[in-house]
Structures are given as structure tokens and as C-alpha cells.
Amino acid sequence: MENSKRFAHLLNVDIFHDLPADFRKGFLDSCSCHFYETPTIVLMQGEPSPGLYLVAHGGLDIVYLGAEGQRTFLMFGDVGRSVGETECISGHACAATCETQPNTTLLFCPEPQLLGHLSNLRFVRNLMAAIQGKLLLGNYLRHIDLNVTTDKRLCGYLLTLSRDGTKIHNTQSALAGILGCSRQSINRELGKLRDRGLVSVEKGVIEILDREKMQQFVDH
């Protein structure tokens, strides 16, 4: 089945904003489709990017690797997120590592095809807008890392990790690694959020029950 039919939801992602239907369809159908059952690194920090990856299902963890192997979570790449295009176009090495979450499907547009699409100025502008969106998200996560309490930081990251829905499949251990605290602290804070009616926690799945109220909690 053609990618544009199998993943019709991708026809409306931000990088295709205001582009003709034939461009969107042609772009998706020209991509190769890759399924990752287990976590797999698709872009490695410090190495070249072979093209653009577009998340069709699942998600990506985008992390910065320290000199001694420390992993710092930067952001989550949800459905519709593209990665690798900036480094591919600029010819620079990847600024971070991108690792798939379990059962993730990515569409891949290799460098020659990606560069060919740059003749469309609207597509270029959409790519620049996507980069600006990543900067804004990075700024937000940096802000909550430095300026809010652990419970609000947890809420901020949960909101980010659930941008494509309400359910988060990260384990408490993974969240502890992202926030840089103990699993016991995460369990304690999740319990408080559950008592406030903001989340439910069941069988390793965290569900956001009231996004608006949670965002208000983070902001005030």
C-alpha cells in the first residue's frame, strides 16, 4: 500500500502546510518505510545524517550524549515530527542522538530526494518553521528544568511526551532518567498527580486526564 494511503494522517503534518496535494502525496510515497520493534538508534550524535526521518507511528527519544556516555533527554519526537533534515541539508554532523521507542514506524527521505524538494520555497519555509518549533520546545523544557519544582517538571514532561495523544508508555525508570531523579521520587509525584485527578497510572501506562488543568499547574 502507498505510504500516502497507509499513513494518511501524515498528509496534514506541519512540513506540508499549504503545499499542493500532489507534492504531499509524492513526498510520502517516495519515502521508504521502516518499522522498529525495539529501541534503535537511527541518528547518532556526531555522525552525518543520511536524510529526513518522519515519525509515522510511535516516537523518538532525542538525547544528548556526554563525553562519558551520560544521556540527557532533550525532547520527544512524536507522530509527524521530522528529524535529520537540518544536518543533512547543512552538511553538519548530528547535534543529538535519535532513538526509536518500541514499535515505531518511520518514513525515510534520503538526501538526494530531500535536496530535490528544496526547489519548492514553501517546503523550505515549512522546514524552517519546524526548526523554530523545536527551538521553542527546547526553550520550554530548559525553562522548567531550571525554574520549577519536581512535580511541575514532571507535568511539563508528561505534557510533552503525550503531544500526540493522552497516553504515555514510558516507565517510571525512564521518566526518572529524563528528569534526573530517583524512581521513588517519580512514583511519589505521580501519586500526588493521581490524587489531584490529573493522571491515571495503570500497568505501566500513564494517562493524562486533564491537559488544561495540568498546564495551568505548570504555569502557576
- CATH superfamily, domain at 3-142: Jelly Rolls (2.60.120.10)
Among the listed residues 177, 206, 135, the one whose alpha carbon sits nearest the alpha carbon of residue 214 = 206
| Single-letter code of the amino acid located at 72 | T
What's the predicted TM-score (pTM) here?
0.81
Q: Please tell me what DSSP assigns to residue 210.
A: -
Which CATH number fits the domain 148-219, given the four candidates 3.40.1440.10, 3.60.20.10, 1.10.10.60, 1.10.10.10?
A: 1.10.10.10
- Mean pLDDT, 10 residues at a time, the chain of 220 residues: 94 95 97 96 97 94 87 84 96 96 95 96 96 87 85 86 70 76 86 88 84 87
- pLDDT reported for residue 120: 96
Q: Which H or E run contains 187?
A: helix 183-195
Asked if residue 170 lies in contact with residue 206, where contact means CB atoms within 8 angstroms, the answer is: yes
- pLDDT reported for residue 134: 85
List the chain domain ranges. 3-142, 148-219
d(CA 208, CA 210): 6
